[in-house]
Amino acid sequence: MVLADLGRRINSAVQDLTRSNLVDEKAFDGMIKEIGNALVEADVNVKLVANLRKSIRQTVNFKELGQGVNKKRIIQKAVFDELCRLVDSHSEPYKPKKGKTNVIMFVGLQGSGKTTTCTKLARWYNARGFKACLVCADTFRAGAFDQLKQNATKAKVPYYGSYTETDPVKVAKAGVDKFKKERFEIIIVDTSGRHRQETELFAEMVQIQEAVRPDQTIMVLDASIGQQAEAQSKAFKESADFGAIVITKTDGNAAGGGAISAVAATKTPIVFIGTGEHILDMEKFEPQRYISKLLGMGDMQGLVEHVQSLKLDQKDTMKHIAEGLFTVRDLRDQLNNIMKMGPLSKMAGMIPGLSNLMGDVGDEEGSMKLKRMMYIMDSMTTKELDSDGKVFVQQPERMTRIARGSGTSVREVEDVLTQHKMMAQMAKKMKGGMKAMQQGGMGR
- Binding residues (CB under 6 A) for ligand GDP: these are 108, 110-116, 193, 248-249, 251-252, 274-277, 281
Name residues whose C-beta falls within 8 Å of residue 143's C-beta, 6 or more positions apart in sequence: none
Cβ atoms of 278 and 124 within 8 Å: the answer is no
Considering beta carbons, is residue 89 or 116 the nearer one to ligand GDP? 116
Please give the C-alpha separations between residue 111 and each of 60, 136, 147, 172, 248, in angstroms, as whole numbers.
43, 15, 12, 20, 10
Minimum distance of ligand GDP from residue 118's CB (angstroms): 8
DSSP-assigned beta bridge partners for residue 97: none
DSSP-assigned beta bridge partners for residue 191: 137
Minimum distance of ligand GDP from residue 53's CB (angstroms): 31
Q: Which residues of 24-52 are buried (b: 16+ CB within 10 A; e: fewer)?
A: eeeebeebbebbbebbeebbbbeebbeeb
Considering beta carbons, is residue 347 or 416 the nearer one to ligand GDP? 347
Considering beta carbons, is residue 172 or 300 the nearer one to ligand GDP? 172
Considering beta carbons, is residue 257 or 274 the nearer one to ligand GDP? 274
Pairing of strands 244-248, 270-274: parallel
Minimum distance of ligand GDP from residue 346's CB (angstroms): 11
Cβ atoms of 184 and 132 within 8 Å: the answer is yes
Minimum distance of ligand GDP from residue 156's CB (angstroms): 18
Residue whose Cβ sits closest to ligand GDP: 274
Minimum distance of ligand GDP from residue 254's CB (angstroms): 10
Considering beta carbons, is residue 12 or 147 the nearer one to ligand GDP? 147
Compute the residue count for the chain. 444
Instruction: Read off φ and ψ for residue 159, nearest 5 degrees.
Output: -140, 165
Q: Distance between alpha carbon 340 and the CA centroid of its chain, in Å? A: 21
Cβ atoms of 440 and 408 within 8 Å: the answer is no
Minimum distance of ligand GDP from residue 348's CB (angstroms): 18
Minimum distance of ligand GDP from residue 345's CB (angstroms): 12
Name residues whose C-beta falls within 8 Å of residue 362's C-beta, 6 or more positions apart in sequence: 345
Considering beta carbons, is residue 247 or 370 the nearer one to ligand GDP? 247
Which H or E element spans position 375?
helix 363-378
Minimum distance of ligand GDP from residue 190's CB (angstroms): 7
Considering beta carbons, is residue 36 or 193 the nearer one to ligand GDP? 193
CB atoms within 10 A of CB 372: 17
DSSP state of 248: E
Considering beta carbons, is residue 194 or 435 the nearer one to ligand GDP? 194
